[in-house]
Amino acid sequence: MMNNGTNDGTDDLIRAGAANWADWHESQLMAHGLRCTRSETLWRCWEPGGVIYLGAITLIPGDPYALYVEIERLVEARKPAGFVVADCWASLDLSRLGFEATDVEPWYISPPVEPPFVTPDELRIEQVSTLSALREFEAASLKGFDIPETATSAPFQIHAESSIEDQNLRCYIGRVDGEPASVSMAYVSNGIVGVYGVATLPEYRRRGYAQALTRAAVQSGLGLPALLQPSPMAESMYQRMGFYEIGRLQMWSLPSA
């Protein structure tokens, strides 16, 4: 599972992707008033966040002792709650700290110049700029990812109201006949655009809406390369859009005590 990075430029891209992923998490979680910190090696949140958020993200490749020390401190601070760590280079063995290896996910990148793509005529894409739209965006995201409504007790539990004030964050809703059908997010930092939360409501799937919402997020970067971590079901769609794999990451889950 060891991967200490490469010398062909992909390591720098994954570093940028890891930092961007951490920036996006920090923007969302600090909007909820949660404490997040980072070192050269690790970003982490010291308190439980919403159901979609990680507890820590590695920021450098390799197997440094410092990473294990930092993660062990986080485990102690967050007991008895469990959390998930994203090892962005699949280079750690966190089983010694009680974690279980779960998903291995690819890093996908899209070059700045993309192949042409036509948005379906019936789809209207808008950027979220009001609290009412953010409420709709959050509800559509939960449905699109098949997350039970019981996972949140009220609106804005996942995406805090103040999160739309972050100028680096762009949230998009695709509407059909005025109703939310698909969503996506983009976070622009570290010289890339990170694409997050692409989801389509079940009744609107297989119509090209996810591609259109991904395209909207990618264009947030104004010519910057775009990075994302696709689900197995979505890999072929992203490949058709010009994305390709540059590395792999390992997710580690710490069960609640």
Backbone angles phi, psi at 180, to 5 degrees: -60, 130
Structure tokens at 117: 């793509």
Output the tens digit of pLDDT for each of the chain's 257 residues. 334 444 568 999 999 999 999 999 999 999 999 999 999 999 999 999 888 999 999 999 887 888 999 999 999 999 999 999 999 999 999 999 999 999 999 999 987 655 567 799 999 999 999 999 999 999 999 999 998 776 666 789 899 999 999 999 999 999 999 999 999 999 999 999 999 999 999 999 999 999 999 999 999 878 899 999 999 989 999 999 989 999 999 999 999 97
Q: How far apart are CA 85 and CA 98, in angstroms?
A: 12
Looking at the domain assignment, is residue 117 inside a domain? no
Same domain, 136 and 84: no
Q: How far apart are CA 31 and CA 123, in angstroms?
A: 30
Same domain, 128 and 57: no
Which three-class secondary structure state does DSSP give residue 197?
Answer: strand
The answer to whether residues 181 and 174 touch, using CB atoms and an 8 Å cutoff, is: yes
Same domain, 29 and 133: no
Domain range spanning residue 98? 10-106+247-254
Same domain, 38 and 97: yes
Looking at the domain assignment, is residue 231 inside a domain? yes
Same domain, 227 and 130: yes
Backbone angles phi, psi at 211, to 5 degrees: -60, -45
Looking at the domain assignment, is residue 91 inside a domain? yes
Same domain, 206 and 177: yes
Query: CB under 8 Å to 159, separation ≥6 — which residues?
Result: 28, 31, 134, 137, 138, 141, 171
Same domain, 50 and 159: no
The answer to whether residues 32 and 161 touch, using CB atoms and an 8 Å cutoff, is: no
Cα distance between the two ends of the chain: 27
Looking at the domain assignment, is residue 176 inside a domain? yes
Looking at the domain assignment, is residue 182 inside a domain? yes
Same domain, 131 and 208: yes
Same domain, 50 and 132: no
Looking at the domain assignment, is residue 111 inside a domain? no
Same domain, 101 and 66: yes
- What pTM, to 2 d.p., does this model score? 0.92
The count of domains in the chain is 2
Same domain, 129 and 207: yes
For position 238, which CATH number holds? 3.40.630.30
Looking at the domain assignment, is residue 196 inside a domain? yes
Looking at the domain assignment, is residue 84 inside a domain? yes
